[in-house]
Amino acid sequence: MVFSSITFIYYFLPMLLIAYYIFPRKCRNIILLIFSLVFYFYEERNIILVISCIANYFLGILIEKNKSKQYLIWGIIGNIAILGYYKYSNFFIENINSITNANISYFNIILPLGISFFTFQNLSYIIDVYRGEIKPQKSIFKYATYITLFPQLIAGPIVRYKDVDKELDNRKENFDDFAIGVKRFIIGLSKKVLIANTVGNMCVILNDMANKTILSHILEAIGYTVQLYFDFSGYSDMAIGLALFFGFHFKENFNYPLIATSITDFWRRWHISLSSFFRDYVYIPLGGNRVKLIKWVRNLFIVWALTGFWHGASWNFILWGIYFFIFLLLEKLFLSKYLKNNIISHMYTLIIVICSFVIFNMPNLASIGEYFKNMFGISGLPFTNKETLYYLKNYIVIIAISCIAATPIIKTISGKMQNKKMFTKITNILEPVCLLTLLIVCTASLLSNSFNPFIYFRF
């Protein structure tokens, strides 16, 4: 089940809200747990989520009771082994077969939904228990509620236990949070349905063109970057909004990354929960930047190779991570002094990011090289043709809207208007009307359009 579906919006969510608020407060975690499991197993049949949840619950208790690093090590190995088996075993078999000419049979594996996210949440929990940063949860039902909490279960953000532990035991739902949650959910839904899906459809059309051009490749690369951003940030907005319905406050996962003026700045703004996870649980334990230069470079390389590999069992994802490692290294060594808050730095960052998502999107290494040759005019393609200009004309409005929506311009203007009494009453009337209109338009789009992928579900 996905958030951007009629089933979720008009059946699952209303039933959950009714059950959640009519039952006594002491039952609310159980209600959330039951509905979260229904949400997950609506399309998933693998019970590894349940097994992993129970195992890590008991590990947390053992680690705290015995103060032993041994249990932590076994917990880390166990969690990584589960992730490795489901996500990477066939990747390793494929490469062993390719290198040695062996004929090892592939495992018949279907990747469980959200395994990359709930595995990292389990890891952060047992590590934080060992470090003494949190106390282990005594109730298995409350821990299961944390792990399976449906807003973040399938595609994040990666929510750490210490950020919601107090709210698991004692949270206060209120109308203001609920209203903000509705607003965040509808805005996220609109980003996903009206922008990401539309631009994604453009990318499919451009990719299927018989007579491609340099401009069609550039447009497709820009389009995929826009699609990925609005797809994932829209999902995060919906997750944060949904959590507010039930009194949970998730941290922001995106902060207008496409306005960044360096790659370092970009990764402070993009998928914040993932980059902070690798910073706190890999980079800093390795020594961070408080070591000799060669070890610091090693630490940076390990983090970004793992970041790429986390996204998928393919060499293009590893290359994508290493690609960012190279630019981050260059910036930290000498480029940063030249990167100011200006249009040149912004254009540099956008070009690097757009090219990175070409790598991210390609199925294999050979296709990456071919795409870049076409994109940069090395393969002899014409710059444009009538077909390319036709599709550019058809999609120029949504591209322009996405460029505006990727910046904080609307938020800034709205904030300034709210500070003026003259506009406050107008805003109070217009905002609900606009949100209701967006919901109606999104609903109509979902009813009429079958193109509705969530890109991060495959990670």
Side-chain half-sphere CA neighbours of 5 within 13 A = 13
CA distance 2 to 349: 32
Domain final position from 156, 171, 186: 171
| Residues designated catalytic | 311
Specify whether 160 is located in the same domain as 183. Answer: no
Tell me, yes or no, whether 293 lies in a domain. Answer: no
Tell me, yes or no, whether 325 lies in a domain. Answer: no
Q: Are 359 and 316 in contact (CB under 8 A)?
A: yes
* Residues 367-391, mean pLDDT to the nearest whole number: 92
pLDDT score recorded for residue 246:
96
Tell me, yes or no, whether 317 lies in a domain. Answer: no
Specify whether 234 is located in the same domain as 358. Answer: yes
Tell me, yes or no, whether 115 lies in a domain. Answer: yes
User: Does the pLDDT of residue 269 top 60, yes or no?
Assistant: yes
- Full residue range of the structural domain in which residue 130 is found: 6-171
User: Does the pLDDT of residue 115 top 90, yes or no?
Assistant: yes
DSSP string covering 17-79, please? HHHHHHS-GGGHHHHHHHHHHHHHHTT----HHHHHHHHHHHHHHHHHHH--HHHHHHHHHHH
Residue 403 carries which side chain, given as an amino acid letter?
Answer: C
Tell me, yes or no, whether 326 lies in a domain. Answer: no
Specify whether 144 is located in the same domain as 187. Answer: no
| Average pLDDT for the chain | 92
With tokens 């090219």, the residue in question is: 355
Specify whether 149 is located in the same domain as 57. Answer: yes
Give the C-alpha distances (Å, rounded to integers) separating 257 from 17, 230, 306, 324, 358. Answer: 33, 11, 21, 15, 17
* % the chain with pLDDT above 70: 97
Q: Are 112 and 149 in contact (CB under 8 A)?
A: no
pLDDT digits (tens, 9 = 90+) for 428-457: 778 889 999 999 999 999 998 766 666 655
Specify whether 29 is located in the same domain as 94. Answer: yes
Specify whether 19 is located in the same domain as 43. Answer: yes
Helix axes 214-245, 365-375, angle to 10 degrees: 120
Domain final position from 171, 201, 235: 171
- 302, with CB counted inside 10 A (0-12, 13-18, 19+), is middle
Tell me, yes or no, whether 307 lies in a domain. Answer: no
Specify whether 128 is located in the same domain as 206. Answer: no
Tell me, yes or no, whether 214 lies in a domain. Answer: yes
Specify whether 211 is located in the same domain as 247. Answer: yes
Specify whether 255 is located in the same domain as 374. Answer: yes
User: Does the pLDDT of residue 54 top 90, yes or no?
Assistant: yes
Domain final position from 125, 151, 171: 171
Tell me, yes or no, whether 275 lies in a domain. Answer: no
Q: How many domains does the chain have?
A: 2
Token pair, residue 276, equals 């902070």
Q: How confident is the model at residue 355 (pLDDT cuts 50, 70, 90)?
A: very high
Specify whether 150 is located in the same domain as 203. Answer: no
Specify whether 31 is located in the same domain as 70. Answer: yes
Residue 196 carries which side chain, given as an amino acid letter?
Answer: A
User: Does the pLDDT of residue 459 top 90, yes or no?
Assistant: no
Specify whether 46 is located in the same domain as 129. Answer: yes
Give the C-alpha distances (Å, rounded to integers) separating 394 from 40, 90, 95, 193, 266. Answer: 38, 41, 43, 18, 30
pLDDT digits (tens, 9 = 90+) for 170-207: 898 999 999 999 999 999 999 999 999 999 999 999 99
DSSP string covering 345-407, please? HHHHHHHHHHHHHHHHH-SSHHHHHHHHHHHTT-S---S--HHHHHHHHHHHHHHHHHHHHTS
